[in-house]
Chain A
Amino acid sequence: QSVLTQPPSVSGAPGQRVTISCTGSSSNIGAGYVVHWYQQLPGTAPKLLIYDNNNRPSGVPDRFSGSKSATSASLAITGLQAEDEADYYCQSYDSSLSDWVFGGGTKLTVL
């Protein structure tokens, strides 16, 4: 059971917009700790996609965006492409656990 809760799967057709939620609690996201997102393509290492809630590292397309409110965060992907099919993980810090915590991951399928 992950500290951060994500839907196991989401799907969308090419060109559509999808969102992936990440629900935490008062000791992590709700405590003001920032949320980060990683993309893991099949058989590869995770790649930082969004950091500090809504910032994109150099090279990440602006089709990817992040937001945060209260005890949850969301990753939005617009203009869905076949190459976006991957697992996505949210991550934050939990003060009660003194732990860098990850979500359970969400598998994005491009129909």
Chain B
Amino acid sequence: QITLKESGPTLVKPTQTLTLTCTFSGFSLSTSGVGVGWIRQPPGKALEWLALIYWDDDKRYSPSLKSRLTITKDTPKNQVVLTVTNMDPVDTATYYCAHTSYGDYYFDYWGQGTLVTVSS
């Protein structure tokens, strides 16, 4: 059974760096083909893909946000970490992590999401 759960601060100030952790079970990032992605959703708005990391440490980033994003993995801990620098109120959103597989281009298991509000 695959599960994922996001954790991190619920409130950050403008210009601060956001660090989110995705802790998962039911699969391992040491397994060939496995990947974990991050997707966000501002309140009342559409989904937006942010970043993705594969088992072999191949990393992909949304071109529009690439300069502000860093994704890393801690395989023994079954965790993936996303950092977003220079947070702005427009970054207020629910942030989801999700499981994918190399070459599939879809996300088949999602975490429950965590709402991050950017406000001074």
Question: B residues within 8 A CB of A44?
Answer: 112
The docked-state distance in angstroms from the alpha carbon of A98 to that of B113 is 24
Question: B residues within 8 A CB of A98?
Answer: 60, 63
- The A-B contact count (CB < 8 A) is 61
The docked-state distance in angstroms from the alpha carbon of A44 to that of B41 is 12
Known contacts A46-B39, A51-B108, A89-B46; 10 further A-B pairs (Cβ under 8 A)? A36-B105, A44-B112, A47-B110, A48-B108, A91-B47, A93-B105, A99-B62, A100-B37, A100-B62, A102-B47
Flag if A97 contacts B47 (CB, 8 Å): no
Mark B residues whose CB is within 8 Å of A.
Answer: 37, 39, 46-49, 52, 60, 62-64, 96, 104-113
Mark A residues whose CB is within 8 Å of B.
Answer: 2, 33-34, 36, 38, 44-48, 51-52, 57, 89, 91-93, 97-105
Flag if A100 contacts B105 (CB, 8 Å): yes
The docked-state distance in angstroms from the alpha carbon of A93 to that of B100 is 13
Closest to B37 in A: A100
Nearest chain A CB to B16's CB is how many angstroms away? 25
Flag if A100 contacts B63 (CB, 8 Å): no
